[in-house]
Amino acid sequence: MVIDKDTLLKEGERLDVLKRENIQIIQSPSVFSFSLDAVLLADFADLPRTRKATIVDFCSGNGAVAFLLTGKTKNPIIGVEVQDQLVDMARRTVQLNAIEERVSFVHADINDITQHLKADSVDVITCNPPYFKDLSDSTKNDLDAYTIARHEILLTLPQLMNQTSRLLKMNGKAYFVHRPDRFFEILDAMRANRLAPKKIRFIYPYEGKEANMILIEAIKDGKEEGLKILPPLFIHDASREYSEEVKAILFGE
């Protein structure tokens, strides 16, 4: 069946293309558009390509990470998102690309996730969570979609790690992208919830600048020893163009 793109798009929305996965994704700058952190998270995650596995993407937004993961595994991806408007966008992207067997979305609060997915049943979780604490002096709008996605209004860091641990099987893996200034909080929350950090990679805008993102792999009930600090990733080269590694991640170059 040929799908009319115009009938699937709502006011203010546009279509972008995930080139490596050949997926057209519905975006809305006024509500939510994914950024490079989602792309880097999906690239960082180590997924079983053919071995049967349950793979879940928390805080899925308009589904960008879930769609990006389809190029790394034959297993279906389950996205979880609390905001109904973003779930609607993600589900229409599924319909547009006819990938119902590859990706699906659960409209749920992650704090209630075991009402939708069985505890101790998931092999891999990815998450691009809210980065900023819900402080009284935070710069926030009136609880719009972007604010909820960026601030810990509905999901705190300890809650995220608790629900991640509840859902993962023993030795299941979790992958997060976050901010370096919350590094110790992240590690503390992981270790309080049986998640052992195993791989860490710091992301830099370019050489000579401070890191502005961090990628972390954790294993449920993993051993304390064996943590690896991976080589840094620089987003831009000296000419401020994307670095060769980032080009390869974005475009397969």
Residue pair 118/26 in contact by the 8 Å Cβ criterion: no
Residue 29 has a pLDDT of: 82
pLDDT confidence of residue 146: 58
Tokens (6 digits) for 10: 């709502």
What string of DSSP letters covers 167-219? HEEEEEEEEEEE-GGGHHHHHHHHHTTTEEEEEEEEEESSTTS---EEEEEEE
C-alpha 120, offset from chain centre: 20
Higher pLDDT, 13 or 145: 13
pLDDT of residue 7: 74
pLDDT at 2 over 60: no
Distance between CA 163 and CA 173 in Å, rounded? 13
Distance CA 62, CA 246 (A): 22
> Could you report the per-residue pLDDT of 78-93, keeping only the tens digit for each?
999 999 999 999 999 9
3-class secondary-structure state, position 151: strand
- β-strand 233-234 against 122-127: which pairing, if any? unpaired
Say if residue 152's pLDDT is above 70: no
The 10s digit of each residue's pLDDT in 105-116 is 999 999 999 999
184-211: average pLDDT: 96
What is the pLDDT at residue 149? Answer: 63
Cα(147)–Cα(32) distance, integer angstroms: 10
Residue 1 has pLDDT above 60, yes or no: no
pLDDT at 31: 76
The pair of three-digit structure tokens given for residue 14, joined into one six-digit string: 């546009």
Mean pLDDT (whole number) for 99-127: 97
What are 30-72's pLDDT values in tens digits?
Answer: 776 788 999 999 999 999 999 999 999 999 999 999 999 999 9
Q: Could you give the number of structural domains in the chain?
A: 1
Q: Which residue has the higher pLDDT, 53 or 253?
A: 53
Residue 11: predicted pLDDT:
87
Q: Which of 19, 33, 50, 2 is nearest to 145 (CA)?
A: 33
Question: pLDDT category, 199, cuts 50, 70, 90?
Answer: very high
- Phi/psi of residue 214, nearest 5 degrees: -140, 140
pLDDT at 75 exceeding the cut of 50 = yes
Q: What is the CATH number of the domain that holds 99?
A: 3.40.50.150
Strands 195-204, 213-220: pairing is antiparallel
Give whole-number Cα distances, 143 to 11, 68, 182, 211, in Å: 20, 28, 23, 29
Cα–Cα distance for residue pair 156/141, rounded to 1 Å: 18
Q: Which structural domain, as residue segments, surrounds residue 227?
A: 5-251
Give the global pTM. Answer: 0.92
